[in-house]
Amino acid sequence: MTEAAELKPSRTFHKLQAHLRGRVGKAIEDFGMIAEGDRVMVCVSGGKDSYTLLDILLSLKRSAPVHFDLIAVNLDQKQPDFPTHVLPQYLAALGVEYRVIEQDTYSVVKRVIPEGRTMCGLCSRLRRGALYRFASENGITKVALGHHRDDIVETLFLNLFFGGRLKAMAPKLLSEDGRHIVIRPLAYVAEREIERYARGREFPIIPCKLCGSQDNMQRVAIKKMLADWERDFPGRTETIFSALRNVELESLADTRKFDFAGLEARRIAPMTEAEERELESLAIPA
């Protein structure tokens, strides 16, 4: 019997499903991701993360205290040999409203990016533009992406090591053009939990063949570094993510975010001798 077949009907799988529901529900609550009457567009690529996101949101929708609608949207980027039938068949069987957008971003990326260079940056910008355009034209109030906790931590180190910036992925953000609210409901979920869930649900995974063979990507190096840390120090990734939720700006060095020059105005004046004597008489440490 396969691992997926063993996991699906078991108590272990149902426990995992409940855990993911709880983590996603907590993220939605903490960051105010979904409100009454929202029309949420779930971006479905055919990978384990977006399948899991859609599955958990559908489950939460049935018992959520607020009413919201879901629409699954896939961008067909015209990659060679892309199995265009897989997602429509899966989504139709699921009974969820869905749309497939067709836009040949593959040819653009292959033409612009030199051989051997990372394609993800341009590919994601083109994909984001197409999805935002659909959102604007179809009354979408929230755009849900499948980035998980590990993606967020990896992005932190990518920016730190290669960009000189202390920046990660926000669980909820306003797009650069100010028109779209983007949410990441899997922000509290570890990738290994999504992998287990995807195996248990037997999702029809579609691998990305545009850049999947690029072994020299910086993100791959960061992922390996974090995996090594996690093996030697279990729980380290969770600790790093917790740090992103406990930021002390005054202990960093960004003058745009903290008024270091104004600290003098906040300083408390030294006590006078009379005040010190009064404290001593009351046996209160100065």
Write the CATH number for 93.
3.40.50.620
102 or 284: which leads in pLDDT: 102
* Any domain includes 274: no
Q: Which of 171, 155, 170 is nearest to 219 (CA)?
A: 155
In 103-197, beta strands by DSSP E: 142-144, 172-174, 181-183
Q: Which of 277, 82, 53 is nearest to 149 (CA)?
A: 53
Given a contact cutoff of 8 angstroms between Cβ atoms, the answer to whether 188 and 57 are in contact is no
The 10s digit of each residue's pLDDT in 92-105 is: 999 999 999 987 77
* Any domain includes 220: yes
User: Which residue(s) pair with 102 in the sheet?
Assistant: 76
* Any domain includes 286: no
* Any domain includes 147: yes
Sign of CA pseudo-dihedral 220, 225, 229, 232: positive
Distance CA 86, CA 49 (A): 16
The 10s digit of each residue's pLDDT in 75-93 is: 887 777 788 899 999 999 9
- What residue numbers bound the domain in which 61 lies? 3-251
Mind giving me the DSSP string for 80-101? TT--TTHHHHHHHHHT--EEEE
Q: Which of 146, 123, 155 is nearest to 223 (CA)?
A: 155
Helix 48-61 and helix 191-201, axial crossing angle in degrees, nearest 10: 80
* Any domain includes 284: no
pLDDT value at position 4?
A: 43
Tally of structural domains, the chain? 1
* Phi, psi (deg, nearest 5) at residue 14: -65, -35
* Any domain includes 256: no
For range 235-241, the mean pLDDT: 96
For range 215-240, the mean pLDDT: 90
**DSSP structural state of residue 18:** H
pLDDT class of 156 with cuts at 50, 70, 90: very high
34 or 126: which leads in pLDDT: 34
pTM greater than 0.75 = yes
pLDDT class of 259 with cuts at 50, 70, 90: very high
